[in-house]
Amino acid sequence: MAHSPQQKPEIQLAEDIVKKHPELSIEGNRIIMKQYIKDSDVFHKLKGELEKKGWEYVAPKRIGEGKWEPGYFEFKDEGAKA
């Protein structure tokens, strides 16, 4: 499978995982949690899979009165495996 010229290889590594979870979307160089994953077992399994591929979870942050920035995953290639 050829890589899209705009898409980085680390995004390709995570694309299959993101396709299985409608709560996630790829935006630029991040994987954004569009919706909270209610089942903690599912979330921790997903987080573990992405961390094995070199992604690090960044928890949601409060950005104002009642407003939150969603949680997301950023790529950190330390010890990543395809």
SS (H, E, C) the chain: CCCCCCCCHHHHHHHHHHHHCCCEEEECCEEEECCCCCCHHHHHHHHHHHHHCCEEEECCEEEECCEEECCEEEECCCCCCC
CB 37 within 8 A of CB 21: yes
Q: Give CA–CA dist 68/82, Å, rounded.
A: 32
pLDDT (tens digit per residue) in 23-79: 999 998 899 999 989 999 999 999 999 999 999 999 999 998 888 899 999 998 655
Query: CA angle, 12 as apex, 16 and 79 as ends, to 5°?
Result: 100
- Kindly indicate the confidence band of residue 2, based on its pLDDT and cuts at 50, 70 and 90: very low
pTM above 0.75, yes or no: yes
- Kindly indicate the confidence band of residue 3, based on its pLDDT and cuts at 50, 70 and 90: very low
